[in-house]
Structure 1
Amino acid sequence: MARNQRRTEALAWLLRRQFSTEALRRHLREWPFFRVERQMPERLRVLLDRLGRKDPRRR
Structure 2
Amino acid sequence: VFSGYYELTSLLGNITIKDGNIFSHTHITFSDTNYRVFGGHLFDAKITAAGEFVMI
TM-score of the alignment, normalized to the shorter chain, above 0.5:
no
Question: By percentage of residues, which structure has more strand?
Answer: 2
Greater C-alpha Rg: 1
Of structures 1 and 2, the one scoring higher in RCO (CA 8 A, sep 6+) is: 2
Q: TM-score range by the shorter chain?
A: under 0.3
**TM value normalised by structure 1:** 0.17
**TM value normalised by structure 2:** 0.17
